[in-house]
Amino acid sequence: MSKPLCAQGMSIRKSLKINIPPLSFIAYGKLLALSFSAFLGLFLLFTLVSHVFSVELWEAAAGLNSIIALVIIFLSLKKSPQFFSGAPVISYLPGLLVFFAALLMGLLMSLGKFEMGKMSEIATVQSLFIICVIVPISEEFVFRIGLTSLTSKIGGLFWGSFFSVLVFTSLHMVSSWEELFQGNFGGNPLGPFLLGVLAEIIYRKWNNIFAAIFFHMACNLTPYIFYVTEPRWLKWLSALYN
């Protein structure tokens, strides 16, 4: 005899370990204040460096996040020399799945035909290295280890991760102060929000920041894979990339 639907639902919730802890009004206010301050502070620094050094905003963000990430690495190693040790190989599986899924989808639609020369149309070697290597490394240290550690002290792991992801998403949606003041966020939040959530899950599940970095690298590489193999995927999945 099968279980009643209500019992099945309860067993599913238990198997998924769904646990959304309550958040007090004071904690909620503190998280909002910290998240808003982090967003404005980082965006102010990004735009300032972009203006002073006449570089693109994303390049300024990559440079500053790299500096912050180095500080976080130093402090983490000073606090615990074994901070980066021990991580199961399976923790890299999500990143591998994203990479090979994108490659397979592109190759199947293009019937195995692709032109590596097309890569030069949208990215230089330098920009590709920054976007697919430097940015994932720096952002994962800044947000997954840095900001989430601060927000989790206020609201616990769930809400701390959630508000950290909100800051991560917001910084990927706005590109100028004019957009910010007008409330005209140019980017689609779905892509960066999903990336932030999944990176948080990967890091928390296996306690391996390198697995989250690898996953982030794979995600950042997918638009280039699609462009080289089958550009139509960029249009079909525009909600993730625009």
Task: Check pLDDT > 80 for residue 16.
Answer: no
Neighbours of 75 (CB within 10 A): 13
Bigger pLDDT: 199 or 228?
Answer: 199
> By three-state DSSP, how is residue 67 classified?
helix
Residue 112 has what pLDDT? 60
The DSSP call for residue 211 is H
Enumerate the domain spans of the chain. Answer: 25-241
On whether the CB atoms of residues 95 and 211 are closer than 8 A, the answer is yes
- What pTM was estimated for this model as a whole? 0.88
Average the pLDDT over 171-184 and give the result.
83
Average the pLDDT over 61-90 and give the result.
87
- What does the mean pLDDT of the chain come to? 87
Confidence band for 5, pLDDT divided at 50, 70 and 90:
very low
Contacts of 233 (CB under 8 A, 6+ apart): 102, 105, 106, 109, 226
User: What string of DSSP letters covers 140-203?
Assistant: IIIIIIIIHHHHHHHHHHHHHHHHHHHHHHHHTT--SHHHHHHT---S-SHHHHHHHHHHHHHH
Bigger pLDDT: 219 or 76?
Answer: 219
Q: What is the pLDDT of residues 105-143, one digit of tens each?
A: 988 887 766 665 566 667 788 999 999 999 999 999 999
Q: What's CA 211's distance to the chain center, in Å?
A: 12
